[in-house]
Amino acid sequence: MTSNKLSKHNQDFADAMATKLRLNREKLKQTQTVDEKINQLTPEQREQIGEFRLSIIREGLKEFPGLDPMKALQMMEEFGG
């Protein structure tokens, strides 16, 4: 019986830590500058986006600091951009 409680306790702790880490990552993304977000893109991602769309995404990140560059690309593609 004690092992079940300990197991439940461990699972609750793991869930809480996972939530905390997720929230910290989200907060960090919102506090990064536009250049930091752009610089974190891989060369493959930069090539996929292209310089023209990257300039548009850069301007969008200035207006919407919480936006992820790859999410911005997805949104552009959905609107046919």
Cβ(48)–Cβ(73) below 8 Å: yes
Give the tens place of pLDDT for each residue, 30-69: 778 888 889 989 999 999 999 999 999 999 999 988 888 9
* 3-class state of residue 50 by DSSP: coil
Angle (deg, nearest 10), helices 69-78 and 51-63 = 110
Distances (CA, A) of 17 to 21, 58, 75: 6, 33, 31
Q: What's the first-to-final CA gap in the chain, in angstroms?
A: 59
- The reply to whether the predicted model has a pTM over 0.75 is no
Q: Quote the CA–CA distance of 6 and 52 in Å, as a whole number.
A: 55
